[in-house]
Structure 1
Amino acid sequence: MCTSEPMGDEVVRLEGCSVTDNMVEGLCKLKNNSSNNNNNNNIRCVELENCANITDISALAHIATLEEVTIRNCSSLRIIGSLGPSPPSLRKIRLAGTVLTGAQLQKLKDSRVEIVFGSSEPPTPSRGPGEDLVKESVELVRDLMKQFKPENVGIAFNGGKDSVVMMDILQCAMGREFLSQCCVFHLEAANEKEFQEVVMFREAFAKEKKLSIVRSGHKASMKECLAQIKAMKGIQVAFMGTRMADGCHQRTSVERTTAGWPDLLRACPLFSWSYEDVWGYILTYGLPFCELYSKGYTSLGSADTTLPNTRLCRVDGTFLPAWELVDGRSERYGRLNA
């Protein structure tokens, strides 16, 4: 829904789940068209409210007359781009029910933009990953989805921290309805014994997101599990939470499976993310996670061969939470078979 204030100084209001990034980009085109037509109306203020499907508002930086932006309850907002340094006319941003990272807030402050928070106290600055990294992941998903229908898309979800972040990136990029149209699956290899806490978390997550998780059934290997999922659902691309640091054979974020595996395109939106990036994102946006991470587990494998990370052990024998790990390179120190 858009409402405009006449008399030359225009206020544009966008509200509701139907608002998309493309509509925000459309404001810039509207402004340019108005200028070409010698229209005296200028966009001075943009209000975004309850826009759950807006992820990127960087296009607002191209509205040279923009002076004020109000953002209320836009839970999927992740990218602001050069908003702040550009346009130079921007003087104030009002925030309520919407999270910006510490780096984003600092950029606005450095540009002398006044930030007005909806609550009496400003939020604690977060350490979320760099905006460019998030934008790269979102664009990877959107570019790939120009090639595939949702019913041919598989999403591997085991309940670990990486898969939680990947699910959020997918939702931010494509919307919650997109997730419900894809095949969300979990591979159950026979030699893996799951933590009960992981199983319970995965089920609770699926219930909250209103997703049905397809299970492969216990097979001898991950290859057989994936082959069964492909045969059952006809998926052509599989999104996975794999990162470069996992030490797998994958060399880029998007590759075909290697010989011997079911023929699929493997897409890894978090491929370039570090351990610190993952936890920064989870904590910044308040994503849910398995309780084992609060007990010192940093990488969840089989329950038979996974322990809390010794790098997080306190003097009294208890453990710091996973996000307190100083060096992400020691992420797998709790894996006995790593």
Structure 2
Amino acid sequence: MACIDDILDEYSLNQIALSFNGGKDCTVLLHMLRVAIDKYNIVVMELPGPLIIGVSSLKEQRPQIVPVLMGSRASDPNGKYMKSKVEWTDSDWPRVLRVCPILPWSYQDVWMMLRGLCVHYCQLYDQGYTSLGGRETTVPNEMLRIESSGNIRYCPAYTLNDGNEERKGRKNK
């Protein structure tokens, strides 16, 4: 993708980070970057906690980091506020350049790539979860529920026809 190439042209590898939370969107992005990770032997760091805390820790440990690649899409709760694939963080965040190559992608686009390229993803998606968050707020999506002879099961996330229903796999806190 052009915006990834632009970032790789403009910044050295020790200035670039990838935010990965294990979800389908970040899995797509990680797959896109896998070649670079293998080729350049990129260091992987795990920074647990909410994204803002992870980015703060990252900037403390690696102050040279500028762009952070993220798997946000425009249909995500915070993605809808982004005007382009590459933007600086808001003033209440640590200063990094957010790079969201899949910002314009749909729910179906994500699944088309994951399934089309046989990319491994979190097994919860095969159990009817369509949007992963905290354990207390993540549930199988009722749109994928099938009840037969008193048994309840859920179809895989990739069978959800309407991407606008993706967040029905979350419950309010």
TM-score (norm 1): 0.47
Which among 51, 54, 61 is matched to residue 222 of structure 1?
A: 51
Residue in structure 1 matched with residue 110 of structure 2 by the alignment = 278
Residue in structure 1 matched with residue 166 of structure 2 by the alignment = 331
RMSD: 1.7
The structure showing larger relative contact order (alpha-carbon pairs under 8 Å, at least 6 residues apart) is 2
Q: Deviations over 1:223-262 (max 9, x none)?
A: 2331111110231110000000003132211000011111
Q: Deviations over 1:187-212 (max 9, x none)?
A: xxxxxxxxxxxxxxxxxxxxxxxxx3
Residue in structure 2 matched with residue 163 of structure 1 by the alignment = 26
Residue in structure 1 matched with residue 92 of structure 2 by the alignment = 260
Q: Deviations over 1:311-335 (max 9, x none)?
A: 0000231000000001011001011
Superposed, which structure 2 residues align to 1:98-177 within 5 Å? 138-171=1-34, 174=36, 176-177=38-39
Is contact 2:74–2:105 with CA below 8 Å preserved after alignment?
yes
More helix per residue: 1 or 2? Answer: 2
State the one-letter code of the partner of 2:171. Answer: L
Residue in structure 2 matched with residue 244 of structure 1 by the alignment = 74
Is contact 2:28–2:113 with CA below 8 Å preserved after alignment?
yes
State how far apart, in whole Å, the 2-side matches of 1:304 and 1:318 are: 20
The count of corresponding residues between Structure 1 and Structure 2 is 167
Shift of 1:217: 4.4
Shift of 1:175: 6.2
Identical counterparts, % of pairs = 32
State the one-letter code of the partner of 2:13. Answer: P
Is contact 2:7–2:67 with CA below 8 Å preserved after alignment?
no
Q: Post-superposition, which runs of at least 4 consecutive aligned residues in structure 1 deviate over 4 A? A: none
TM-score (norm 2): 0.90
State how far apart, in whole Å, the 2-side matches of 1:228 and 1:242 are: 20
Which among 292, 295, 320 is matched to residue 155 of structure 2?
A: 320
Residue in structure 2 matched with residue 299 of structure 1 by the alignment = 131
Partner secondary structure for residue 333 of structure 1:
helix
State how far apart, in whole Å, the 2-side matches of 1:253 and 1:264 are: 13
